[in-house]
A and B are shown apart, each in its own frame.
Chain A
Amino acid sequence: MRPRHADLFATGLDDETLIRFIDRFLMFYIRTADRLQRTSVWMENLEGGLDYLKSVIVDDSLGLAVDLEADIAHLVDTYECGWKATIEDAEKLRRFRTFVNSERADDSLVFVRERGQRRPALSSEMAAEVA
């Protein structure tokens, strides 16, 4: 991996084109990169490098643009926030109750303040609290 600031990919794009290129770029990366591979490493391994990537994204040299954009549209359309879905679903929320038979907070949790922040008490501090 070689550190570098950035590579200039395209200039003078209107917003719509810019987003379309980003969509194509991201989906091409998702489709072809190894898992957890950085974009920079991915690009270095592409035969033809930046110029090749430009031809795929900007000039649609592989004829993939329509597919790539459709994939991104599918992602955007079907995205669901797991947290929001849980908050809005009583059935899922049941899993997050502290006690099934009490609304009281869990008094076995003991915190102390250190440097203005809350942290769990050490067992020695808990003993002192109880004593």
Chain B
Amino acid sequence: MRAGWTTVCALDALVLDVGVRARLGDAQVAVFRLSGRDDVFAIDAFDPFSNAPVLSRGIVGDLQGELVVASPIYKQHFNLRTGECLEDATVAVRAFAARVVDGQVQVRPSSCEGTPLALPSSCEGYPLALPESG
């Protein structure tokens, strides 16, 4: 998909501090709006640790001075601006430029910087396998 802003939803379709998932071409993006802020954030919804598109369901917050969402599966934190994983510097999800224009949330599909998505070695097996106890 070529550069350009794609409208994904109206701003008031976002629930404050709770992500929504949107289709963006073939991708699925997690879009966030945080209370007390006017901007919006969009990262790939696919969680590389659990192999499931669940990041829109994560809990948002800030950690080490960065706005993050925690994967609801294994709890790794992803930077909402850059997609970087705070626990594992070799892993990142795509981050997309996002903005609000005339009450509409727009995401730019091509803003991915081309960093190959590194998959963690632990991602084999069932997508939602529980961590081993102990």
Contact = CB atoms under 8 A, between A and B. Distances in A.
Interface of A: 94-95, 97-102, 104, 106, 108, 119-124
B13 A123 contact: no
Nearest to B14: A100
B123 interface: yes
B128 A99 contact: no
A123 B125 contact: yes
Contact of A120 (B8, B28, B53, B128): B128
Nearest to B46: A108
A100 B128 contact: no
A100 B20 CA distance: 6
Given A94-B13, A108-B28, A101 B125 contact: no
B127 interface: yes
Nearest to A97: B20
Nearest to B57: A95
B127 A100 contact: no
Q: Give the size range of B's interface with the partner.
A: 20 to 34
Task: Enumerate the 10 nearest inter-chain pairs by beta-carbon distance, A residue then B residue, closest first.
Answer: A100-B20, A100-B9, A102-B23, A101-B22, A100-B22, A101-B8, A120-B127, A101-B9, A100-B13, A99-B23
Given A99-B23, A101-B9, A106-B53, A94 B127 contact: no
Interface in B74-110: none
Given A100-B9, A100-B13, A120 B23 contact: no
Contacts of A119: 126
A8 B119 CA distance: 61
A122 B129 CA distance: 10
A102 B9 CA distance: 10
